[in-house]
């Protein structure tokens, strides 16, 4: 088994699925581990803002080519697809490649840390693959191979890139690509106009899951590395949430509608800090990013101060004792994002360059005003660690539910 970072920018549109015979009644679940980087990037808030900018550029690139097969060759598109490099927090999974499985990304990659071993199921296609992910990159050879998820489900003839060179990846063997298929266009050579079926595409195509749906369970933690997450392909895991799932349609606002875009409004201590705005839910962003004016209202009302060392908002423990909940109004439901949820885990302050006796907040400024951006906010990992999330392609909707961790005190 190799350990792959998940590429979890979820596409708004997975492969269309023809009417099918249901082969498995059980959705496929895959355990995922969370890792917090100890070294490298110093300003993680800026890393999240850079991701926001790249997502906006990616959607603009798509918009200008609407109706075409999109040739997405620019590096910025790929940046948006990759939480594994240059970010504070990565979620990783173990998968097998080959039969017997020896190892295991939009492009799935192996071989960065542990060598790929060819087996009888390995078919070399003759193409080379190359993807640039902002500060990191992979290039190598394309193979089709059997990819085994950690629970035994196998995808045959899955396209994988076997790295001959990679940079910017530490402690992982590659990438399990769960991003939009369009992002794989232009990654193959000489077949530059061929896109690559992703793992999720092939799970649907091969009728291993009955519907292209992904559900994500993250949990807050104050450990640097822990396996506490779960990705479910093709269904939801009702043991991971409490009450009902609130579903909202993907927003019609562009460019948020290119991704998992929703509309929400936010109050703090009874004061509206964000009126109803379109933005996205994104598993590849670490923090909660708000529009500049909403962020300013948050700063004003919480008394937090911007800290130039870490880039985070900072407060004293006595100020933190008075911090109130944020309330997110999404569809018919109000989701409470507690004071504890707004704090970076205190025993991990050194990971962001902070001092041990202060409290750093995970609420940050997206940087560009909504009218320039079109993506007003990003509900990133810190949000998804408090709520179960469902990305339902067939019904073009996003689901959210409370969990045992919504009100947990971990930080």
Ligand X SMILES: *[C@@H]1O[C@H](CO)[C@@H](O)[C@H](O)[C@H]1NC(C)=O
Residues that bind ligand X (CB under 6 A): 123, 144, 156-159, 196-197, 202, 205-206, 239-244, 265, 272, 275-276, 329, 404
The least CB distance from residue 140 to ligand X, in Å, is 15
Other Cβ atoms closer than 10 A to 42: 12
The pair of structure tokens assigned to 332 is 């018919």
Q: Are strands 271-281 and 359-361 parallel, antiparallel or unpaired?
A: unpaired
The least CB distance from residue 285 to ligand X, in Å, is 23
- Nearer residue to ligand X within complex by CB, 305 or 369: 369
Reported in sequence order, the residue ranges of 317-395 that DSSP labels E, i.e. its strands, are 326-330, 333-337, 359-361, 363-365, 378-379, 387-392
- Nearer residue to ligand X within complex by CB, 326 or 348: 326
- Nearer residue to ligand X within complex by CB, 134 or 399: 399
Instruction: Compute CA distances 9 → 6, 54, 128, 285, 303, whole Å.
Output: 9, 12, 24, 9, 33
The H or E element that residue 198 is part of is: none
- Nearer residue to ligand X within complex by CB, 59 or 294: 294
The least CB distance from residue 134 to ligand X, in Å, is 24
For Cα atoms 84, 93, 106, give the angle at the middle one, nearest 5 degrees.
55
- Nearer residue to ligand X within complex by CB, 43 or 157: 157
Q: In the chain, how many H helices and how many E strands?
A: 7, 24
The least CB distance from residue 123 to ligand X, in Å, is 6
- Nearer residue to ligand X within complex by CB, 18 or 356: 18
The least CB distance from residue 159 to ligand X, in Å, is 4
- Nearer residue to ligand X within complex by CB, 92 or 273: 273
Q: Which residue has its beta carbon closest to ligand X? A: 205
For Cα atoms 170, 174, 175, give the angle at the middle one, nearest 5 degrees.
115
The least CB distance from residue 242 to ligand X, in Å, is 5
The pair of structure tokens assigned to 356 is 């041990």
Single out the residue of 165, 164, 155, 8 nearest to residue 87, CA to CA.
8
Other Cβ atoms closer than 10 A to 44: 25
The pair of structure tokens assigned to 215 is 């559900």
The least CB distance from residue 8 to ligand X, in Å, is 19
């Amino acid at each position: 088994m190799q350990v792959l970072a998940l590429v979890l920018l979820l596409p708004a549109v997975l492969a269309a699925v023809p009417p099918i015979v249901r082969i498995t009644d059980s959705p496929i679940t895959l355990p995922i581990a969370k890792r917090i980087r100890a070294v490298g990037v110093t300003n993680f808030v800026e890393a999240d803002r850079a991701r926001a900018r790249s997502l906006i550029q990616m959607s603009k690139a798509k918009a200008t080519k609407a109706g075409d097969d999109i040739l997405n060759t620019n590096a910025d598109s790929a940046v948006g697809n990759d939480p594994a490099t240059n970010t504070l927090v990565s979620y990783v999974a173990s998968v097998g490649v080959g039969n017997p499985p020896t190892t295991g990304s939009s492009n799935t990659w192996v071989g960065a840390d542990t060598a790929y071993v060819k087996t009888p199921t390995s078919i070399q296609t003759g193409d080379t693959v190359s993807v640039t992910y902002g500060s990191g990159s992979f290039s190598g050879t394309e193979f089709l191979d059997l990819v085994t998820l950690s629970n035994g489900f196998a995808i045959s003839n899955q396209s994988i890139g076997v790295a001959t060179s990679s940079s910017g990846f530490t402690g992982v063997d590659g990438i399990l690509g769960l991003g939009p298929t369009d992002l794989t266009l232009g990654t193959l050579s000489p077949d530059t106009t061929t896109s690559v079926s992703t793992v999720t595409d092939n799970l649907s195509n091969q009728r291993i899951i009955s519907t292209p749906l992904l559900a994500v369970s993250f949990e807050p933690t104050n450990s640097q590395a822990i396996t506490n997450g779960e990705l479910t392909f093709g269904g939801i895991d009702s043991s991971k949430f409490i009450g009902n799932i609130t579903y909202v349609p993907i927003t019609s606002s562009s460019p948020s509608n290119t991704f998992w875009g929703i509309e929400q409004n936010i109050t703090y201590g009874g004061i509206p800090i964000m009126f109803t705005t379109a933005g996205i839910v994104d598993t590849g962003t670490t923090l909660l990013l708000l529009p500049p004016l909403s962020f300013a209202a948050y700063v004003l009302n919480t008394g937090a101060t911007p800290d130039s060392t870490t880039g985070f908002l900072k407060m004293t423990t006595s100020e933190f004792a008075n911090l109130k909940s944020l309330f997110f109004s999404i569809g018919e439901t109000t989701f409470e994002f507690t004071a504890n949820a707004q704090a970076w885990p205190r025993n991990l302050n050194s990971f962001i360059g902070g001092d041990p006796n202060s409290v750093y907040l995970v609420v940050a400024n997206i940087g560009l005003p909504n009218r320039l951006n079109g993506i007003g906010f990003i509900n990133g990992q810190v949000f998804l660690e408090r709520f179960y999330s469902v990305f339902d392609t067939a019904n073009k909707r996003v689901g959210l539910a409370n969990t045992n961790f919504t009100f947990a005190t971990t930080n």
